[in-house]
Structure 1
Amino acid sequence: MTLPIRRLPDKLTIDEFCADLAISRSTFYDWRKKGTAPRCIRIPNGALRIRRADYENWLTDREERA
């Protein structure tokens, strides 16, 4: 029996983003104000979403070289 592959959502909520990085929402909004947060999408209800690809690219851009 094969288990179904669980697909990750292609967009993250701000809470999911913050939980993944173990940061507060205020830190996220500080980064956003400074222009250092990943690109966001504003959906019709006003909430923000972050494309998983943008998040991954944002993380890669912050990697330190050894």
Structure 2
Amino acid sequence: MAKPRDELLTIPEVLEELHDVSRSTFYRWRQLKKGPKSIKLPNGKVRIKRSELNRWLAAREDAA
């Protein structure tokens, strides 16, 4: 049986899940290496794996 693929989210999809986080704040987090790990595709677009976003959010819960 094939292993299900990890969903790749766009920045707008991630921002929708994070609710009140602005695009500029998210990009600042990425620059400071404080955001979820991202993947830069050969076409220059950025994606975040669903599992990485969930892991990153869980780590924020633990730190709260």
Aligned to 1:16: 13
**Counterpart residue type for residue 24 of structure 1:** S
The one-letter code matched in structure 1 to 2:56 is W
Counterpart AA for 2:12? D
Aligned residues: 58
Q: Which residue of 2 aligns with 1:34?
A: 32
Quick one: structure 1 residues 43 and 20, their matched pair in 2 at CA, closer, same or farther if it must change by over 3 Å? same
The equivalent of 1:51 in structure 2 is 49
Any stretches of 5+ residues in structure 1 without a counterpart? 1-8
Q: How far has the Cα of 1:64 moved from its partner?
A: 4.1
Q: Unaligned 5+ residue runs, structure 2?
A: 1-5
What's the offset of the Cα at 1:33? 1.2
User: Greater helix share, 1 or 2?
Assistant: 2
Between the two structures, name the one with larger relative contact order (CA 8 Å, sep ≥ 6): 2
Provide the residue aligned with 1:3 in structure 2. none
Q: Bigger radius of gyration, 1 or 2? A: 1
Q: Which runs of 4+ in 1 moved over 2 A?
A: none
> Normalising by the residue count of structure 2, what TM-score does the alignment of the two structures yield?
0.80
- Judging changes above 3 Å, is the alpha-carbon distance between structure 1 residues 17 and 65 closer, same or farther for their aligned structure 2 residues? closer
Cα RMSD of the aligned pairs, angstroms, is 1.8
